[in-house]
Amino acid sequence: MRTPLLLLALLWQPGLHAAMLTIGTGGEQGIYYQVIKEFCRLAQKSDPGSQCKPQASSGSIENLHLLQTGDIPYALVQSDWLYQASNGTGPFAQKPQPELRTLFATHAEPFTIVVRADGDITTLAQLKLAPIDMGLKHSGTRQTALALFNALGTREQDLDLKSVANLSEALCSKQIDAYGLVMGHPNRIVLETAKRCAIRFLPIEGETRDQLIKGVKYYQRSQVPARIYPGNLKATPTFAIAATLVTNAATPDEDVYRLTKAMLSRQTSFNEQTYGYANLFHKARNKMGPVLSVTQHPGAAKYFEELKAAGKL
């Protein structure tokens, strides 16, 4: 009789059956889903009691809504949408979420404008007269594109905005002259386009970029990395938002601390085949501070304070 009792005692040890945390991401084929899946793999490897999994969604806005209703405890969201939700601006004016808190930023998502290498578009100003796709009307990409065009003095109604089903095919067949995406690199759509036709990226730099990011917490200087797409040998300057792991202020400090530590303590084992790896914030100091658009959760802050005290930050 002692053996069954021993087995029962083992089965009920704390931590062996930790609750599985769900983290809102994006579509199952998207970068957010892949990045969180990898961070959860690292978390369980580091701390078997920290078990999490990605939950597919339509993206940042749905994730923020699910956080507000308590349907999920954590989510990965764009820093610009996060800032607006926390401050009750834009689409969140009627339902602000001041309770949002960050854990850390996972990777940069540069705003990337793709054109044909043999096309006539060489400057941002030329986009005003061209058929272009800058995302769906209410998407994060469209919002970011309009912020750029506003800095250029161009109104939405002055643009020839299209909405195509297949960006790669549309660009290479000359249905459109450019498309823009907020994306981590490498990106499947860009790779597919590069296989169909030669491409390049439009730089966003100088006064235009300076004006765009001045006084804005959710944008930062960035670049499209070199040598990850055929023919693109040099990095292209642009700006980016930060994909940010968030929760609510009510989430217990110890829970947030444990998850943050578990996710980050073995990041040297991150799968380099994961899409978005090229823009991953590899160093701890780049996951916090100015890159975060809202207040950091005390539980996450505790982990970074420990890194600092140990001389690792």
Residues 127 and 223 in one domain: yes
Residues 150 and 100 in one domain: no
Q: What is the mean pLDDT of residues 206-225?
A: 92
Residue 8 lies in a domain: no
Residues 100 and 247 in one domain: yes
Predicted local distance difference test score (pLDDT) of residue 59: 87
Residues 151 and 83 in one domain: no
Write the CATH number for 148. 3.40.190.10
Predicted local distance difference test score (pLDDT) of residue 1: 43
Domain count for the chain, please give it. Answer: 2
| Cα dihedral across residues 148, 150, 156, 158: positive or negative | negative
Residue 9 lies in a domain: no
Residue 208 lies in a domain: yes
Residue 171 lies in a domain: yes
Residue 169 lies in a domain: yes
Identify the domain boundary among 213, 241, 269: 241
Residue 13 lies in a domain: no
pLDDT at 18 over 70: no
Residues 103 and 246 in one domain: yes
Query: What's the DSSP call for residue 24?
Result: E
Residues 114 and 99 in one domain: no
pLDDT at 299 over 60: yes
Predicted local distance difference test score (pLDDT) of residue 8: 40
One DSSP character per residue, 45-90 reads: HH-TT--EEEE--S-HHHHHHHHHHTS-SEEEEEHHHHHHHHHT-G
Rounded to 10°, the helix 79-87/60-69 angle is 40
The better pLDDT of the pair 151, 6 is held by 151
Residue 125 lies in a domain: yes
Q: Report phi then psi at 157, rounded to 5.
A: -70, -10
Give the mean pLDDT of the chain.
91
Q: What is the mean pLDDT of residues 142-171?
A: 93
Identify the domain boundary among 241, 272, 295: 241
Residues 171 and 207 in one domain: yes
Q: What is the mean pLDDT of residues 33-60?
A: 95
Residue range of the domain that includes 216: 109-241
- This prediction has a pTM of 0.85
SS3 call for 136: coil
165 contact partners, CB below 8 Å, separation of at least 6: none
Query: b or e along 68-103 (b: 16 or more beta carbons within 10 Å of the residue's beta carbon)?
Result: beeebbbbbbbbbbbbbbbbeeeebeeeebebbbbb
In whole angstroms, how far apart are CA 165 and each of 33, 162, 171?
A: 22, 10, 11
- Render pLDDT for 47-70 as a digit per residue (tens, 0 to 9): 999 999 999 998 898 999 999 999
- Render pLDDT for 85-131 as a digit per residue (tens, 0 to 9): 999 998 899 999 999 999 999 999 999 999 999 999 999 999 998 99
Residues 180 and 194 in one domain: yes
- Please state, in angstroms and rounded to a whole number, the distance separating the CA atoms of residues 256 and 260: 6
pLDDT at 14 over 50: no
Q: Which residue in 222, 231, 25 sits closest to 110, CA to CA?
A: 222
pLDDT at 25 over 70: yes
Residues 220 and 257 in one domain: no
Residue 12 lies in a domain: no
Query: What's the DSSP call for residue 225?
Result: P
Residues 202 and 54 in one domain: no
Residues 71 and 188 in one domain: no
200 contact partners, CB below 8 Å, separation of at least 6: 114, 115, 116, 117, 231, 232, 236
pLDDT at 5 over 80: no
Q: Which residue in 84, 73, 34 sits closest to 56, CA to CA?
A: 34
- Please state, in angstroms and rounded to a whole number, the distance separating the CA atoms of residues 259 and 103: 9
- Please state, in angstroms and rounded to a whole number, the distance separating the CA atoms of residues 299 and 248: 11
Predicted local distance difference test score (pLDDT) of residue 141: 86
Identify the domain boundary among 241, 275, 298: 241
Residues 135 and 100 in one domain: no
Residue 186 region by backbone torsions, left for phi larger than 0, else alpha for psi between -120 and 50, else beta: beta
Instruction: Give percent of the chain with pLDDT exceeding 70.
Output: 94
